[in-house]
Amino acid sequence: MIKINLENTFEAIYVSSNFDVYIFESHLKNNKIIQLKVKFTNIADSLLPNVYNLAFGPFDEPGKIDDSINLKHRNSNKVFSTIILFSIIFLKNKPHATIGIDGSNDLRANLYHRMFRYNYKDLQDFIVIIGVDWYVRLLRNGLIELDVDGSAFFKPKPEPFDFKRKSHDLYRYYMFNLNQ
Amino acid sequence: MKDSIQNKINRIQEIALASGMKKNLMDSNIIEFHDDDNLSKSIRNAKEAELFFSELKSAIDLAKRNSTKNVLE
């Protein structure tokens, strides 16, 4: 279980001047030291101007974050505490922004879900957490709304993160912003 | 906010200032694409975006009220 403690975080070795890129170092269980990058990117969609996607992980040669890799950190609590601290700093500098986390797979979504659920009492002083489910509309004729290609058209519906929802009932998307 | 956390935030803001000169070096080749993001994929037009943001604002307001309530309890 990830325990967030904002007083126990790694030092940043690089912070971009607009607070959207951070680099820090973590020790792995195999004794290697790895540089991790945290990056907040405006979703490439003009319809969602204030939503920033959180990506983190080691970066490959072209500098792109590999957020699919599964690393064994010596201190995962400290890694995630650092990421949350950087998120808070990013939001303080962009108070109208909302951070979005798209669990790239069930494993990662499960991790975020359990992290938020386990730490909500400590985190609620700093951030509000939103979970997003997708629903399809039932039409009056008994059919469901379809997309242009004939598939069921699902719409995102955000709600305050339900801390009683367990990890077998994950949200599809997670968002958070400053509690101010 | 605890002083220790505020101090950390201040320290990171200092690093950001110092990193300003290195920005181009560190960021120039970093491009993240999120056009496969679940959220952006499912919002097709301005009307749907407006509806989503309206619901998001309501959810955030409710979450803030809940957190205040939890503190009082």
Rounded distance, CA A23 to CA A97, Å?
A: 21
Query: Is the residue at A4 inside a domain?
Result: no
Q: How confident is the model at residue B32, as a pLDDT? A: 47
Contact status, residue B57 vs residue A161, Cβ threshold 8 Å: no
Which residues of chain A fall below pLDDT 70? Answer: 44-45, 61-69, 103-104
Residues 6+ apart with CB under 8 A from B4: A7
Q: How confident is the model at residue A108, as a pLDDT? A: 79
Token couple for A106: 């069930």
Mutate to test the interface with A, among B5, B24, B34 (most CBs of A within 10 A): B34
Q: How confident is the model at residue A130, as a pLDDT? A: 96
Tokens 């097709």, located at residue: B44
**Of the partner residues A7, A17, A22, the one whose CB lies closest to the CB of residue B5:** A7
Q: What total of structural domains would you count in chain A? A: 1
pTM of the model: 0.86
Rounded distance, CA B29 to CA A172, Å?
A: 30
Q: How confident is the model at residue B20, as a pLDDT? A: 67
Count CB neighbours of A55 within 10 A. 20
ipTM of this complex: 0.85
Share of chain B above pLDDT 70, in %: 70
Q: How confident is the model at residue B33, as a pLDDT? A: 43
Q: How confident is the model at residue A159, as a pLDDT? A: 97
Query: Is the residue at A31 inside a domain?
Result: yes
Q: How far is A158 from chain B (nearest CA, A)?
A: 6
Query: Is the residue at A3 inside a domain?
Result: no
Q: How confident is the model at residue B31, as a pLDDT? A: 41
Query: Is the residue at A160 inside a domain?
Result: yes
Query: Is the residue at A103 inside a domain?
Result: yes
Domain containing A172 equals 12-178
What's the 3-state SS for A124-147? Answer: CCCEEEEEEEEEECECCCCCECEC
Q: Which residues of B touch A179 (CB under 8 A)?
A: 63-64, 67
Question: Is B57 in the A-facing interface, judged by CB distances under 8 Å?
Answer: no
Query: Is the residue at A5 inside a domain?
Result: no
Give the pLDDT band of residue B29 (cuts 50, 70, 90): very low
Contact status, residue A37 vs residue A14, Cβ threshold 8 Å: no
Q: How confident is the model at residue B30, as a pLDDT? A: 44
Asked if residue B9 has pLDDT above 60, the reply is yes
Residues 6+ apart with CB under 8 A from A112: A101, A103, A174
Q: Which residues of A touch B39 (CB under 8 A)?
A: 43, 48, 51, 100, 102, 132, 156, 173
Count CB neighbours of B54 within 10 A. 10
For chain B, positions 9-38, list CB contacts with chain A under 8 A.
Answer: 9, 11-13, 15-17, 19-20, 22-23, 26-27, 29-35, 37-38
Report in angstroms the alpha-carbon separations of B27 from A57, A79, A99, B20, B32: 15, 22, 20, 11, 11
